[in-house]
Amino acid sequence: MTQTTQPPVRAVLLDIEGTTLPVSFVHDILFPYARKALPQLLRTRADDPEVSAQLAEIARLAPGTPPLRQLDAWMDADAKVAPLKALQGMVWAQGYADGVLKATLFPDVVPALRCWAAAGVALAVYSSGSVAAQKLIYGHTTEGDLSSVFVGFYDLQMGGKREADSYRRIVQDAQWTPADVLFLSDVVAELDAAAQAGLQTCQIVRPADGTQPGTTHPVAATLTEVARRFGLPHAEAA
Ligand SMILES: CSCCC(=O)C(=O)COP(=O)(O)O
Ligand SMILES: [Mg+2]
């Protein structure tokens, strides 16, 4: 019988929602905050080039629809659309600055990420949330600023998370070898796309989020379990 061995993991690419952060934080705190704050952002900063560029993109994607109505429709559908994600990131910045928003990561996340980074494993984020929003989350956690553990942040500018080419672009940008990279996500379609691009994969199945395990990828409930399964260092072993 032939046995396949996994190449050692040299880099870990991580999803956010449902992987490092509870789905409830995104849906019950971040999204309602953005829905409430977006009308004022469009009223007061429509001429700001950062905002007007996103308004132009909305007009390109949904010609003739008033921007706020289109943003509401995308939020209702939880659509992962770049201009919505960019504008959400802009309003969240104020919430983090005011101290109203603070990210509570799953308890296994900070020790695992610190341990992996200290051991020389390259860590990067890939989320539908904008790079600015990702840096805000990891820069404002209940356990302090974690953003320096990451060597890269990737968003929808790389393409959709269910498309294999997005993972190829990320790996190329980071100058990694696909087989050396482990992608962690709660969503099987994202893992399928990453596997198609040659990455190793593991589904994070968080009981708190009620994630349903699939059958086609290794499964782990915590990053500690990921470490054991993929030969990464873990805090207890340090
Ligand atoms: C990074 S900010 C909040 C996440 C977000 O806006 C979102 O849509 C969730 O996307 P993910 O790709 O992390 O599931
Ligand atoms: Mg997710």
Asked if residue 3 is part of any domain, the answer here is no
Q: Element (H or E) spanning 131, and its range?
A: helix 131-139
Nearest bound ligand to the CA of residue 33: 1
Q: How many CA within 13 A on the CB side of residue 41?
A: 26
Residues 113 and 212 in one domain: yes
Q: Are 134 and 62 in contact (CB under 8 A)?
A: no
Calculate the dihedral angle through the C-alpha atoms of 133, 137, 138, 144, rounding to the nearest 10 degrees: 140
Summary count for the chain: helices (H), strands (E)? 10, 6
Whole domain around residue 139: which residue ranges? 11-21+103-237
Domain boundary among 98, 126, 147: 98
Any atom of ligand 1 within 6 Å of the Cβ of 81: no
Looking at the structure, do residues 178 and 114 belong to the same domain, yes or no? yes
Give the pLDDT confidence of 111-148 residue by residue, as tens digits.
999 999 999 999 999 999 999 999 999 999 999 999 99
- Considering the domain architecture, whether residues 39 and 15 belong to the same structural domain is answered as no
Question: Cβ(129) to ligand 1 under 6 A?
Answer: yes
Question: Does 226 lie in the same domain as 183?
Answer: yes
C-alpha dihedral sign at 103, 106, 21, 228: positive
Interval 19-65: pLDDT, tens: 999 999 999 999 999 999 999 999 999 999 999 999 999 999 999 99
For ligand 1, whether the C-beta of 134 sits within 6 Å is yes
For the CA of 15, the nearest atom of ligand 1? 13
Query: 83: Cβ below 6 Å to ligand 1?
Result: no
Residues 87 and 111 in one domain: no
Number of neighbouring beta carbons within 10 Å of residue 157: 12
Average pLDDT of the segment spanning 78-103: 96
Q: In what order do the strands lie in the sheet with 11-14?
A: 152-154, 122-126, 11-14, 181-185, 200-204, 219-220
pLDDT on residue 235: 73
Closest ligand by atom to 84 CA: 1
Cα distance between residue 230 and residue 226, in whole Å: 6
| Residue reference for tokens 């072993």 | 237
- Look at residue 32 and tell me if it is in a domain: yes
Residue 6 lies inside a defined structural domain of this protein: no
For residue 114, the 8-state DSSP code is H
CATH (domain of 69) = 1.10.720.60
Q: Structural domain tally of the chain?
A: 2
Q: What is the mean pLDDT of residues 192-207?
A: 98
b/e string for 65-88 if b means 16 or more Cβ within 10 A? eebeebbeebbeeeebbbbbbbbb
Check pocket membership of 131 for ligand 1, CB cut-off 6 A.
no
Residue 213: count of CB within 10 angstroms of its CB: 14
The pLDDT assigned to 7 comes to: 87
Cα 227 to Cα 176: distance, rounded to the nearest angstrom: 20
What's this model's pTM, rounded to 2 decimal places? 0.94
Query: If you take atom 6 of ligand 1, which residue's CA is the nearest one?
Result: 129
Which atom of ligand 1 has the smallest separation from the CA of 88? 6
Report how far ligand 2's centroid is from the alpha carbon of 204 (Å).
Answer: 9
pLDDT in tens, 142-180: 999 999 999 999 999 999 999 999 999 999 999 999 999
- Using the predicted structure, report yes or no on whether residue 5 has a pLDDT greater than 90: no
| Residue located nearest, by CA, to atom 14 of ligand 1 | 17
Provide the pLDDT confidence category of residue 4 given band limits of 50, 70 and 90: low
What is the 126 CA–ligand 2 centroid distance (Å)? Answer: 10
Whether residues 40 and 66 share a domain: the answer is yes
If you average pLDDT over every residue of the chain, what do you get? 95
Q: Is the CB of 17 under 6 A from ligand 1?
A: yes
State how beta strands 219-220 and 200-204 pair.
parallel
